[in-house]
Amino acid sequence: MANPEIDKNKKSCIIELHWLIGALVVVFFALFLSSTIFRTNNTTSISCHCAQGPAKYSEDVEKCCCDYETVNHLNKEVLHPVLQELVKTPFFRYFKGLCSINILGGLDVPVILNSHIGHSVSLNLSFSTLLDTSYVELMFLLATADSVPLLSYHVLRLQVKLWCDCPFWPDDGMCHLRDCSVCECPENEFPEPFKAQSHRRSSSNLVCLEENTEGAVDRTIDSKAFKGWVEVDNPWTNDDETDNAEMTYVNLQLNPERYTGYSGSSARRIWDAVYIENCPKYPSGEICPEKKILYKLISGLHSSISIHIAAEYLLDEASNTWGQNLTLMYDRVLQFPDRVDNLYFTFLFVLRVVTKAADYLDEASYDTGNPEDDLKTQSWVKQLVYNPKLKAACPLPFAEARLWKGQGEPDLMQQIQTHALMDCIGCEKCRLWGKLQVLGLGTALKILFSVNGQKRLGETLHLQRNEVIALINLLNRLSESLMLVHEMGPSLENVMGKQTSTPSDQPSMTGSF
């Protein structure tokens, strides 16, 4: 028989349990809501918190909305494999070398204008004149030189070629190693649409600069080959795609960025000039908040170049043994958390730009005259820019609307001069990769600032073929550097932390391959 007292207790117990469950549900729901709101705020705020990075490099990727571990994972699983395939395609493996100003000796600057203009202007422009002169003033200087009529921006397109001289100081090429050189190779491996019928060079002109270097160059171009690519001036880089027999295509796959032996005061002077250009307070050691983003981008690129040098280092010149110089990797990059951080920053910056221009890149023409290859290229591009894993893991690597807040847009003249400084690199292969990656950064900035109000990016953005090639190859270089830092960082940290520092050029820790 039922005991009414026990039944009553049971009932009140059940009611209390219901209340408890109800309360728990409410608390859980409230917690869920607040965490969602917190996360939403984080993706739109520049101060989003990033999770722990590798060992010592546990600071946040500044101004990011994607944590280190996510970036590492995403890079390894998704981006790196796709990028590796993409840069091998004919479209992305040929880069057209260019320079901003062609100087023929000393500090006197005979500037050769476009051949169809037919004028040759001789100016005495010193290093300081070039650095101190604003772009508009420089145009005026050119315009008033000799009796040349007023020159428009188009007239200012200068005759360019890959191995032009430095506009700022006499070239003092310090590269002694064969591997500094870029090799020119036969025409037959070059995509047909890239070749200009009117400027085809005889194969006798195609000489290898060094007998056994691994590069390939063809100087012919065809400005009409890529109908989808608009040939307009690029304000960031002074690039142009006009017919010019002096321009040179290089097969990047055959000219890897690696140790070349280029060093000393020549290399140091370039880096110093680039940093001063983008951060005037650099020599004093002061940080430069108004230029901080540009500084971080340059520093990230510098880290990446150093990582590649260390990853493919000539360990023994006599036996031509190549391998990893881990001491150098640690000494130049890994021991400096800010340099590692800047590498991640630059990678995320370029990645954000690529995803931002996704529709544009997807719709672009990748014609090299080989439909099969071109379809593959198109497909890899799609896999890169619309990758669902990328979207899920890193929906907004950057809140770029706030990135430049209070800093103004980067200065056009700085971009041009940084690019021109690449012509002062006394090593052809370093110059090639220096130019490509600075062009890639310039293209990233151009894309970032092309968005105008509610307009679609495609309506305001016009990219040249070389810019897209530079952008994707830059992203690939950064992606490779991230892989190396992620793989080597923690173990190197352990070993090097215990060792006394050894000179970086003596590979005390190596891994040959």
Pick the binder of ligand FAD from 302, 376, 419, 465 (CB under 6 A): 302
* Nearby residues of 384 by Cβ (< 8 Å), 6 or more positions away: 79, 82, 83, 86, 354
Contact status: 257 vs ligand FAD (CB under 6 A): yes
H helices of 371-464, in order, are 371-385, 388-393, 400-403, 412-421, 428-448, 457-460
User: Which residues in 31-90 contact ligand FAD (CB under 6 A)?
Assistant: none
CB of 362 to ligand FAD, least distance (A): 31
425 binds ligand FAD (CB under 6 A): yes
Amino acid at 346: T
Catalytic residue among 50, 279, 424, 430: 430
Per DSSP, 315 falls in state E
Torsion on CA atoms 224, 225, 226, 229, rounded to nearest 10: -30
Q: Which stretch binds ligand FAD (CB under 6 A): 236-244, 298-306, 376-384, 392-400?
A: 298-306
Handedness of CA 501, 505, 506, 508 (dihedral sign): positive
Tell me, yes or no, if 430 is annotated catalytic: yes
Pick the catalytic residue from 64, 65, 164, 427.
427
299 lies in the binding site for ligand FAD (CB under 6 A): yes
Contact 444, 397 (CB under 8 A): no
**Minimal distance in Å, beta carbon 321 to ligand FAD?**
16
**Minimum gap (Å) between residue 252 Cβ and ligand FAD:** 12
- Tell me whether residue 299 is annotated as binding: yes
- The dihedral through the CA atoms of 380, 437, 464, 351 has a sign that is positive
- Where does 461-512 show beta strands of DSSP type E? 510-512
270 makes contact with ligand FAD (CB under 6 A): yes
- Of 213 and 244, which has the nearer Cβ to ligand FAD? 213
CB 351 within 8 A of CB 79: yes
| Angle (CA) 238 243 244, round 5° | 75
Q: Which two tokens stand for residue 414?
A: 């700085």
Q: What's the min distance (Å) between Cβ of 444 and ligand FAD?
A: 17
Beta carbons within 8 Å of 503's beta carbon, 6+ residues apart: none
Using rule CB under 6 A, residue 213 touches ligand FAD: no
Looking at residues 336 to 395 of the shown chain, list those that interact with ligand FAD (rule: CB under 6 A).
Answer: 339
Q: How far is it, in rounded angstroms, from Cα 47 to Cα 177?
A: 46
Examine residue 263 and tell whether it contacts ligand FAD (CB under 6 A): yes
Are the beta carbons of 313 and 328 closer than 8 angstroms?
yes
Amino acid type, 114: N
- Is residue 430 a contact residue for ligand FAD (CB under 6 A)? yes
418 interacts with ligand FAD by CB under 6 A: no
Query: C-alpha 229: how far from its chain's center?
Result: 21
- Cβ-based nearer residue to ligand FAD, 364 or 422: 422
Contact status: 434 vs ligand FAD (CB under 6 A): yes
Q: Could you say whether residue 309 binds ligand FAD (CB under 6 A)? A: yes
Considering the complex, state which of residue 285 and residue 371 has its C-beta at the smaller distance from ligand FAD.
Answer: 285
Residues classed as catalytic: 427, 430
What residue numbers does the annotated binding site for FAD cover? 258, 260, 271, 299, 302, 332
> Residues interacting with ligand FAD, by CB under 6 A?
257, 259-260, 262-263, 267-268, 270-271, 299, 302-303, 305-306, 309, 332, 339, 425, 429-430, 433-434
